[in-house]
A and B are shown apart, each in its own frame.
Chain A
Amino acid sequence: MSYFRITLMRSGIGLPKRTQGVLKALGLRQRMKTVFYPVTPEVAGQIMKVKELVAVREVDRALTKHELKAERKPDPGFYMERAARR
């Protein structure tokens, strides 16, 4: 099962209601919001409606909210050492 990973890069403000409606239907409510949908002709048609606003990748599985959050988290630059058990 493959998915479209769709990220809203440009806002839909000021564009026709039809375009804004497609963004709403896709669940893209603010910039940089990422959503996952299975690869179907219906979703492909929706992406084509908003192709100027989104970035799309094809991925194998849909990530959860927590995985997406972990992806955005920067590298802390350190790690905690644990005392070895004696």
Chain B
Amino acid sequence: MFGAFRPTNSLGGGLLWKIPWRLSKFQKARQRKRLRAVDTVVAVVDQALAKKSITTKAVERWKEEMPIEQEMVPKDKYTIFDRKEKKYRKGIHKLPKWTRVSQRVNPPGY
């Protein structure tokens, strides 16, 4: 508590957020795995419908607009656009429920 080796964190008022600013390599690996899992689901649904020669708007739109995991650049996999942030990017783990929502595209040019 007192002395030369007191923890500095509690000095700043008590509230301390320990969320790292970037993902670890393991978090990145799991993020890629989740992206691929979603790609698989879409591919399975698409193939099943194609066998019956049906098309669905939801699937067609996804295929048209969203890149698959292998097509995405690392910047888009692990960070998202934020206008308030320096250099307009922040870690994707700042997105609420980020492991259960799809966030693949960002504004062009950022």
Within 8 A of A (CB), among B54-77: 54, 56-59, 62
Residues of A within 8 A of B (CB-CB), count = 22
A45 touching B44 by the CB < 8 A rule?
Answer: no
For the complex, give the distance between the alpha carbons of A56 and B56 in Å: 17
Cβ distance B95 to chain A, nearest Cβ, rounded Å: 13
Main secondary structure of the interface of A (DSSP, over half): mixed
Partner-contacting stretch, out of B11-19, B23-31, B35-43, B78-86: B35-43
Give the segment of A46-54, A64-72, A74-82 that binds chain B.
Answer: A46-54
CB neighbours of B51 from chain A (8 A): 2, 39
Interface residues of A (CB under 8 A from B): 2, 4, 9-10, 14-15, 39-41, 44-45, 47-49, 51-58
Tell whether, in the assembled complex, residue A52 and residue B38 are in contact, meaning their CB atoms are under 8 Å apart. Answer: yes
Q: Beyond A15-B100, A53-B100, is A48–B34 a contact (Cβ under 8 Å)?
A: no
Q: How far does the alpha carbon of A71 sit from the alpha carbon of B99 in the complex, in Å?
A: 29
